[in-house]
Structure 1
Amino acid sequence: MAKWGEGDPRWIVEERPDATNVNNWHWTEKNAGPWSKERLKELLNNLKIAQNGIDCKITELEKLDGEASANNRKGKLIFFYEWDIKLKWEGRLSGGSEVTKGEVHIPNLSEENDVSEVDMTVTIKGSGEEAQRVKAFMHNIGKKQIRVQLEEYIRSLKEEFSKGLILPKKGESSVKPDNVSTITSGFNKKIVMDPVIAPKKEVGCKLDTKSIEISEKFQCRGKEFYDALTRIEMVTAFTQGHVKMEAEKGGKFALFGGNITGEFRELVPGKKISQYWRYKQWPDQHFSEVTISIDEKDDHTLVTVKQDLIPSAEVEQTRENWKRYYFESIKRAFGFGAFL
């Protein structure tokens, strides 16, 4: 078996037009956060919304919290973005005597939701008749105009960060547009993990549990495998669905549509991940204990999963789900399974 960078052409620098990422096989990433903040400010600040004798304007982008990144895997662009936005606005009726001021809150602009589905709350200061009419205008017309600007942000994000992220393949001088596929972080496909039917447990009875231990080889660095389980954009890529995750001690996580939930107990970058971990269908409040050991060798990384306190009836299904939904999915998503 070849050592790192030997044998497999995807690891040979000479095979790469730019000496970094032959055939776009490996996971590459660009931080789109700073660019996104500037772009959202351009699109939303001072946005004028006028119709039917009512004039409104966004006066301030008061809050813009979140992150965005663009990732390339096998020539596919995967965009991850999540923003919590709060806008200040003001408006008045034509010929009206008062200026109405208020806020628009957009708590969940993300690739998980279509712009038309993004929550948007309009509030005002004051309660007079004129203020209520202006608020109704912002609720009906203003929100539509803001959604148009958000759609433009997403379009320009994908356009801007497609540049240079997809690299020419061997023998090509440039990237052919037809060879580039732009998709969301969920790959537009949800993984539905097979449900595990928990045994009925009588009150006062002790739950019978067992342990499993599984080992698997991956063609990657230890740090790369660790990142695949702790970086939200990479977890999103291999689970192909929305992910909630706080990769820190005591941080919570929810994967596969909430079928898998838990809490991080210990994190040693590139070496070890310990979790409290449960299936949604298990008896209430019952968690197993998972320890993922990551051992980087000369030519591969050996990963060992030890899981204790699994309900006995689910042992084999749990073992198969680790192989299918974690190991195989990670290899498929990031190319970590290629050996010669």
Structure 2
Amino acid sequence: MAAVGQGDPRWIVQQREDGKNVNNWHWTETDYTAWVKNRLTELIVNQTFETSVTSVETKSLKMTGEVSVNTRKAKVIFFYELDITIDWKGKISDTEDVKGTIQMPYISEENDDDDFEVRVTVEDEKDNKKSRVKDELRAKIIPFLKQKLPQLLTEMRATGAAKQLLPAKAAAPAKVDIHDKDAVAEIVSKLPEMNIPVSAPAPVPAKTSSKLRTCTLTVKEKFVCGTEDLYASFVDINRVKAYAGGDAQMSAEVGGKFKLFGGYVSGENVQLERPNKIVQKWRIDKWPEGHYSTVTMEFSQKESKVHLTLTQKDVPDSERQNTEAGWVSNYFARMKGVFGFGAAF
């Protein structure tokens, strides 16, 4: 894979004052490597794992390779090839440490998100205690990484696509007044399509079965804004239309119903504690008829960022991945792109 910025100059569109890349029609290429490394560090470093001998902690992360986000004819294409090494450390006694590395030597778009090798090493492996720590850590770290790496890649695609495809006015959120209804309406008219499967009519949902297998998912996200702004972005109709479509319906009252993304998502407000908490009955139209999940969103302000913890109960097992990816791409990434709630690219 060619290094970022080293493609054929006849193919890469140059930034010129006398021309425009209308609707991202020509090939553009953006380096996303730093964003991926920073987010990966947040997800993986400073995590503690217990073994029968001692607890160990992931200490630092090294990443080589590159990630590029490319746009051609309004389509976003991701290329990445990464080699990741994580240092870990623990204490066997007051005077003796145990440490080693965790390596993922090849993560690429060529493979499935959870299809990658994990190697765990320990210094002085001949020591029985240290060898046991390594084996127990390996049993715990692999499932952890198989969950965190797909999460990273899902977020990367969502935020990268939102950044690349948003029109110029929405891509400069600092100039958009989210309290100005006319400005919001202009953004609505230029939004790209949502990441929702619409290639075929949705089948008539089956009735909810008492044997329906469900699960609970938790999503955590950070936004550069205040709790009031983020809270309002989930219940204020003008803000909701700016990322969920001009035909979105939303109520800011308990018992009020909502319909978003052309009816793909619907539900009802159960509990509203402005600006700290929202509880909703929530469903996707292809779920079994009458089946709702319960979504709880809690907002906490920490310095310049709002930390959102979203817990969703009674999600059909078969819909877990699709539902979680939808929150990241259709809600969070689009909010950050339209309102400027995300960190700089």
Q: TM-score range by the shorter chain?
A: 0.3 to 0.5
Structure number, greater radius of gyration:
1
TM-score, with normalisation over the residues of structure 2? 0.45
Specify which structure has the bigger relative contact order, considering alpha-carbon pairs within 8 angstroms and separated by 6 or more residues.
1
TM-score, with normalisation over the residues of structure 1? 0.46
